[in-house]
Amino acid sequence: MRLAAVLTDLDGTLLDHGGLLGPEARGAIEELRRRGIPVVPLTSKTEVELRDLLAELDLGMIGGFENGAGIVGPAGVVVSDRVLDIETLHAHLEELSVLTGLPLRPVSALSPTELRRITGLPRTGIAAMLARRFGIPFLAPGGTGNELVLAVARLPGVRLTRGGLFWHLSGDHGKEDALGLLLRTGLVERPLAGLGDAPNDAGFLAECDVAVLLPGPSGTVDPALAAAVPAGRSAPFPAGRGWAAAVSALLREESR
């Protein structure tokens, strides 16, 4: 099977902590470029962050942002018809806090120091992270996932997903919606490989021809992601090093 494109999550998958691209991952990207196989990010990052990274990493002009809220391509931006604006989502987050009785802290309420500690981003990257239009990353007390899931089911048109660092509240869209937009607009074709590390990657990974699950820092794949994508194969290492190893294995299979 000759891959037409590689779809990838960014933080904790292609990128190491702090949004850094390691040497192994950089080398794998260069090999994919040599073979004419595009790397297409599908991320919870903002459109601003996505565009900055596409330019910085020389990945081209195609990707999806804010958990499937929209895609960017040569012709511009296409936004899902399922998005909710940020004001509506803030109201829903307050409602979710009331329903659960939990203190839920959106990233906009965190100090730059807290955000840098959690994400590893440089100070110059915080403004781009906060330029959100269609989703709210937030922190919740540990072990409260079930309460959040049950409560959000009472909010029609709203989706709760868990990323590597934050919970995310958005309209009823996911990274699989970005993949659908990419396919419908002809920006990508099959067969597709997908790589991700968190439950919010499950939707698009399940629709790829080959799915690779990246382990977390502990060396194990997130159980919720593994359960959602049972046919996925596991990468041998976390983050960029594991991404590079998985891509190399896929390319070796191509050559057989």
pLDDT digits (tens, 9 = 90+) for 157-171: 999 999 888 999 999
One-letter amino acid of 144: T
Domain boundary among 171, 205, 220: 171
DSSP 45: S
- Pick the last residue of a domain from 171, 201, 221: 171
pLDDT over 90 (residue 136)? yes
**Same domain flag for 157 and 92:** yes
Write down which residue in 142, 171, 200 finishes a domain. 171
b (16+ CB within 10 A) / e for 89-104? beebbeebbeebeeeb
State residue 22 phi and psi, 5-degree precision. Answer: -75, 165
User: Does 250 lie in the same domain as 182?
Assistant: yes
Please say if the pLDDT value at position 47 is more than 80: yes
Task: Mark whether 42 and 60 lie in a shared domain.
Answer: yes
Burial of 76 (0-12, 13-18, 19+ CB in 10 A): exposed
Residues 157 and 179 both lie in one domain: no
Distance CA 98, CA 92 (A): 10
Answer yes or no: are the C-beta atoms of 28 and 220 closer than 8 Å: no
Q: Are 186 and 248 within one domain?
A: yes
Task: Let me know whether 38 and 68 are in one domain.
Answer: yes
The label of the residue with tokens 């590597």 reads 164
CA distances from 215 to 104, 166, 173, 202 (A): 27, 17, 24, 14
CATH number at residue 193: 3.40.50.1000
Q: What is the pLDDT of residues 55-114, one digit of tens each?
A: 988 888 999 999 999 999 999 999 999 999 999 999 999 999 999 999 999 999 999 999
> How far apart, in whole angstroms, are the C-alpha atoms of residue 92 and residue 96?
6
CATH of the domain at 157: 3.30.980.20
d(CA 83, CA 63): 17
**Under 8 Å between Cβ of 13 and 197:** yes
* Residue 209: CB atoms within 10 Å: 12
Q: Which band of pLDDT confidence, cut at 50, 70 and 90, is reported for residue 254?
A: confident
Find all residues with CB under 8 Å of 86, minimum gap 6, and list them: 132, 133, 134, 136
Write down the pLDDT at residue 58. 87
For the chain, the domain total comes to 2
Tell whether the model's pLDDT for residue 255 goes beyond 80: no
- Same domain for 10 and 33, yes or no, is yes
Residue 41 shares a structural domain with residue 150: no
CA distance 213 to 139: 24
Peptide bond preceding 217 in cis form (omega within 30 of 0): no
The pLDDT of residue 256 is above 80:
no
Q: Which domain holds residue 164?
A: 86-171
At 177, list the tokens: 């919606």
What would the pLDDT profile of 13-44 be if each residue is shown by its tens digit? 999 988 889 999 999 999 999 999 999 999 99
